[in-house]
Every structure is written in C-alpha cells, then in structure tokens.
Structure 1
C-alpha cells in the first residue's frame, strides 16, 4: 500500500509521461489535492497549465485558485478542457469526484472522449474519486491508490501538531510517545488524526496517559460498522476467577502490543484461541482482556458475515477484517468460531472454505494491532489449518476449575451477589460441594442465593445452610453430559496449553499423555 511519498513519485512519473488518464483513488480529497499541487509545483512544470474542477468551486487554476470559466457545471468544465486540449499542448485538467465514474454512463463516455482528445496533444485528465473507475476508461491510462497515512507519515502529522502547540499549553509527550500514538492512529485519515489530537488537547494539556486516550477516542469514529459489533464493557467484565496461566500470558502480551516494534522484525501479537469446556470463562476472558488493556472490544458477528448471494459472504468477511485493521488497536472477539468458520462435509458451494481462506490470510499477514480472542467449544469442527502454530499466538484449553480456582471464583461471586466474603470454613465446604462445577455453575448458584437474600430482606435473614443446599442441588454439566465433557477434556490434554494453574485431571483409571507447557521468559 503506497504512502504519500510513493504516491507522489508515481504521480510525478505519470504526469511527466503525459499519461492521458490518471485515476487517483482515495477517501482523502484534501490530501489528494495537496499531492496534485505538489506535483504541479515542480519548477520543470511552470509552463504547464493545471486546472481543477470541483462541484463547489467550478473550474479554477490549480496554482492560483483563480476562476477560469463562468459555467460551474461538469459539462461546462469538460467543454473548456476540450477547447484547451485542441489548442495547446501539455495541459492538465483535474476532475474531483465526477458523478458515477464506476460504471459505463454517458458522462463517463464523455470523459473517455476528452481523454482521447488530450492524448493527441500531450494532455492529461486526472480523476480524483473514492470509487473505482470504469474499466473502459481506466484502460486509457494509469491508476493510482493514495492509501491512508502509514505510521511514519502519521508521526509527521502528530509532530507538526505538537510543534505548533508547544508553548501554548503543557505537552508531556516525547518522541517515543508520539511514535506510539502514530501506530495507534494507523487506519485513520489525516483529518481524523488532527481532529483527535485537537480533542485530546482541548482540555489544556497533553499528558503521557493521553496516548491510550487517543486510541480510545479513535474508536468513537467507527461507531456503526457492518459485521463488527462494538461491545460496551461493565466493571464486572474485568473480573475473572482462575485461569492463572492464561492471565499471566495475556499480561505479557499487553506489554508487547503497546511496545514500539519499528526497529525489530516482530509483529504485534496476533491473538489467542481458547477452547474447552462450556461455561468456564472463555467469552468472559475476551471482555477482561479489553478492559485490562484499555482497548475497545469488537465482536465479529459471523451471522451477519454470511449472505445469500454469490460472493457476498467473502466480501463481508474481507470488509469486516479491513475495518478491524482501521479500528486497531482493539480486541477482536470471535465467539464460538467453529459455528462461523467450520465447513460442513456436505458443502458444495465452497463458500465456507473461501471465508476461511480470507480469515486465515488476514490472520497470517495483517500487521495491525488487532488482537483476536477466539473461543470454541466443539474444536473438532474447526479446520486443521486454523490450529497450526503461527495463526494464533497460542492455543489454550480452558478446563473445569481446580479447588484453588474454585475458591477464587466463589469468593468473587460471593462478594458480587451477597456483598461480603464467605467465612473460611464455609468457603472450604463450598469448594468441596462444587467439585466438577464450571465457573458459570458457581455464578448461577450464587446468583440464586443473592436473589433469595433480596426477597427475604437481606443476607442476614438467610438460614445458614441455604448456600450449601443451593450448591448441593446444582447439577453441573459434567453430570448432565459426562461423555461429551470428558471427550472435550481428552482433546485439550493432548493438544493445548492449560489455561489454569494445574494440569488437567483425568477420568479415574485414565492415563495422562505428555502435556504442552507454557514457557515464560521470566
């Protein structure tokens, strides 16, 4: 993807070669016009006329902004251009956002005839548009894509803003802060970058912590995105019991995702795949990551990705992932990924495989700071290529909590629903009663206790044994479907890193094969 300097170099070569049609595609009109003025301002082109047409101003001289034609319509501008192309050499006419250049229309045919006339006398027609140009017109010349500012150009924009405002209010940022902010703003336009910085600076200072605030402010630009659902977090979403190894690993990835990687060959963390027993905290972990890292959370809605028309699903997936790159840094949550990416054995259209292909290519090649947290219950339905090392940074298995994890989870939900910590003896008894419980089973039981306490006028009015009776009467999933749960756990024992502090327990009499071990640098 060419940045501003590369685009200017290409544009210079096209203008020098007198290419009859130059299609400049961009969503940043003002940045494109600055590019054109810079190209037209070369000393070697001082004798070459450049005119520009916009709907608001009509036809004007690109350098002096002086009006050159009274008719402000596109037709009037093209008639003037035709007369100039016939009368003089090396003339250039720039048409900004002409109507509907993507299809074969009479107006586009008129522009094509104008380009052929220009070609006869070394003239050029430059089209500035945010849509592709009709192929019949594009074949008459060359195309150029002015992409969004990269991190280096964004750093220059930020540095210019900070330089202009130093001395007017306190600015704590140094070069490293500006570099981090530039990476966070990748995917934004130049005007969005300036607006975001002005919003941050409006409080009268620019502090160190505003680097993250800038990333959060950027998130508000993208409030309505097809295929991506913005998840607004509550304080409770930060709290996760157990999963010690996973939480330790995520803390280290947090350091990496906020690090300056320009001088290394490292890429930002790609993400984690969480598989395991339902109800043990996989989805909650995605929310906790976003909350702890202070990044926006988006859910990739696979239901809205799949369409009924040919190519629609693939296009929706591609657009959603491109948007994820733009909103980065963010956490991208894909819940029950197997339901959206698994290709059925009876599928004959190949849509599932193409959607998987787009996702895997993005997962492998994207350099944005979009951290994927994908969860799966039925991992057998996932395509094998998704589990290959290098797609996700790590594959964790979320098992039923062990006694220490259950103690942590019980204490967490006891405080949330009953407003106090359990007595030590009671806590030990509840840990014993919750053998085989998933985290959701423990939360459900204590939620019921909290509801009863509210109806009875307070926790003090509950009979002492009510909490224990509630736990004793709760039937966990492992007792409802033991074969299915043990099958899931057997898969996780052999193929994934345990998310908890201890290795997975086996069914009585079962042999436990060698486990993968999570290695840390410290």
Structure 2
C-alpha cells in the first residue's frame, strides 16, 4: 500500500531528480492532481522549480498551467494535441525543466503507435531535463517503462479519511447541527475503508445537506458503503455475528465491510 504521504514524498524526489517519465498509478485524477500541485508548490518555494514551467492536461480543460489554472490557448482538448504542445514547449528556445502532466493517455501497455509516440516524447524530455507525468493504472510497455519510474497512489488510508471526514464536519458546524463525537467520526472512517476521496466526500455531503447529522445517521453511512460496493464483481457482503470474535486465533470485531482493531 502507498498512502498519499508516501506517494507525495516519492514524487518529490523524482521531480527533483528530473526523472523524464513518471507513471502515476491511480484511479483518482482530481486527488492525484491536488497531490502533484501541493508537491510542486513546495518545490517552487524551495527553489527547485519555476512556477511558470508546470503544465497539465485534462480532456475537459485542455492544457493549462498547474499553478495559475489558466488555460493555454490553441492547444486543443485531445491528449495528442497536448503531446504536440509539449514537444513545441521543449524545443522552443531550448527551454529546460519543463513538466507536463497527462491525465489521459492512450494504450501504452504494449508496443504500438501511441506508445512509440510517447517514447519519442520522453526521449526529447530527457535531453531537455523535462518531465512527463502520465496517469495510467495498468501495466506499461517495458521499453517505455525503462525510461522512468512508477509512483502508486492508493485510495485514502485511515489517517487521510479521518482528516477528510473530520475536516468536512468541522467546516460545516456553524451551519449544521452535528451530534457526532470523535468516536462516531472514527466509526465512519472505519466504515468507509476502501472508498475513494470523492466517494467519502459525497457520502458525508449527503448527510450534511439535511441540516443535522445525528448519531443514527451512521446507518446511512453503512448503507451508502453497501451501495458503492454492491456492483463490484467477485465481492460479496457477509454479515458477521459480533459474538464470533475469534476466528483461527485472530482477534477481530467485524460487521459487514468493517473490521476494527482492539475490539
């Protein structure tokens, strides 16, 4: 498992080292972009990066500056246009230390025209001390992968979920009556294990819009988790009798999806 803190630390080192290809394995585009933005801002403050030389591409926004969020004109919305922009950026006036984040890339699991094109881009980036970060959650063509390194961003761990849920509740206490105490927050954190950041945020938002978060609303959190996981192939929910605490010598307390320590 690679939590956000570990992934950010590894990404920071790779950016400082100017690794030409960084494959970021994730299913959470927005959360990954937030992590990259936070890390890159640290590097700007520490003098490792120029804030003007960090770009990102999404299908909806096209190419934009990661720091200012300003779109780059006449680049198009496709990933191919973003790659063309990156080539021009690297070649223009022999600019060094440019960085591009590609959140959507074609199939690069094997040797094909798309992976060959990205390989050519990475070769140019290597010459110009540039970096291309690609979001890709599958295996990468071996020849391409040998030009870079991998960072894996798994779904939020317990610490991150706690900060997310507590922060969301605390940020709404002036408008919403919240009956939960810290033990309730921790129970919600345990219940929402294995969900993405946006899924956890959506579950809590659905509670907050009622204007009051009651103790009994924990049942709705469990129900939401059940619905999120209900369509996952090969995964079946099993209700466990709380009296069955010891299975095979392992001490546990489980209900539905959750298992809490030191019960």
Deviation at 1:135, TM superposition (A): 2.2
C-alpha RMSD of the superposition: 2.4
Structure 1 residues 201 and 47: CA distance shift in structure 2, 3 A: closer
Q: Aligned in 2, Cα 1:150/1:230: closer, same or farther, shift over 3 Å?
A: closer
Distance in 1 between the 2:71 and 2:172 partners? Answer: 35
What does residue range 59-458 of structure 1 map to in structure 2 within 5 Å?
Answer: 59-72=63-76, 73-86=78-91, 87-229=94-236, 250-253=241-244, 268-269=252-253, 295=256, 328-329=257-258, 369=259
Other-structure match for 2:24: 24
Unaligned runs of 5+ in 1: 234-246, 257-265, 271-292, 296-327, 330-368, 371-522
Q: 1:102-155 CA deviation, whole Å, 9 max, x = no partner?
A: 232211111111111111121111001233322221111100110000011000
Alignment check: 8 A CA contact 2:54 2:99 kept? yes
SS in 2 for 1:127: strand
Q: Which runs of structure 2 are paired with 1:43-62 in the superposition (5 Å)?
A: 43=45, 44-47=47-50, 49-62=53-66
Cα distance change of structure 1 residues 105 and 167 upon mapping to structure 2, 3 Å threshold: same
Q: Per-residue deviation at 1:3?
A: 0.8
Q: Deviations over 1:375-418 (max 9, x none)?
A: xxxxxxxxxxxxxxxxxxxxxxxxxxxxxxxxxxxxxxxxxxxx
TM-score, with length taken from structure 1: 0.45
Q: Secondary structure of the equivalent of 1:52?
A: strand
Alpha-carbon deviation of 1:46?
Answer: 4.7
Aligned length: 250
Separation of aligned partners in 1, 2:251 and 2:48: 42
The structure-2 alpha-carbon separation of the partners of 1:26 and 1:251, relative to structure 1 and needing over 3 Å to count, comes to closer
Tell me how far apart the structure 1 counterparts of residues 163 and 244 of structure 2 sit (CA, whole Å): 28
CA contact (8 A) 2:79 2:104 kept: no
**Greater strand share, 1 or 2?**
2
Partner SS state of residue 22, structure 2: strand
Partner SS state of residue 165, structure 1: coil
Question: In the TM superposition, what is the alpha-carbon distance from 1:252 to its structure 2 partner?
Answer: 3.8
Contact 1:12 1:39 in 2 (8 A): yes
- Greater share of helix: 1
Cα distance between partner residues in 2 of 1:4 and 1:227: 27
Gaps of 5+ in 2: none
Deviation at 1:184, TM superposition (A): 1.3
Structure 2 residue aligned with 1:433: none
Q: Which structure would you say has the larger Rg?
A: 1
Name the CA distance, whole Å, in 1 between partners of 2:199 and 2:20.
Answer: 33
CA distance in 2, matches of 1:75, 1:214: 42
Instruction: Give CA deviations for 1:422-451 in whole Å, capped at 9, x if unaligned.
Output: xxxxxxxxxxxxxxxxxxxxxxxxxxxxxx
8 Å contact kept, 2:242–2:253: no
TM-score, normalised to structure 2, is: 0.86
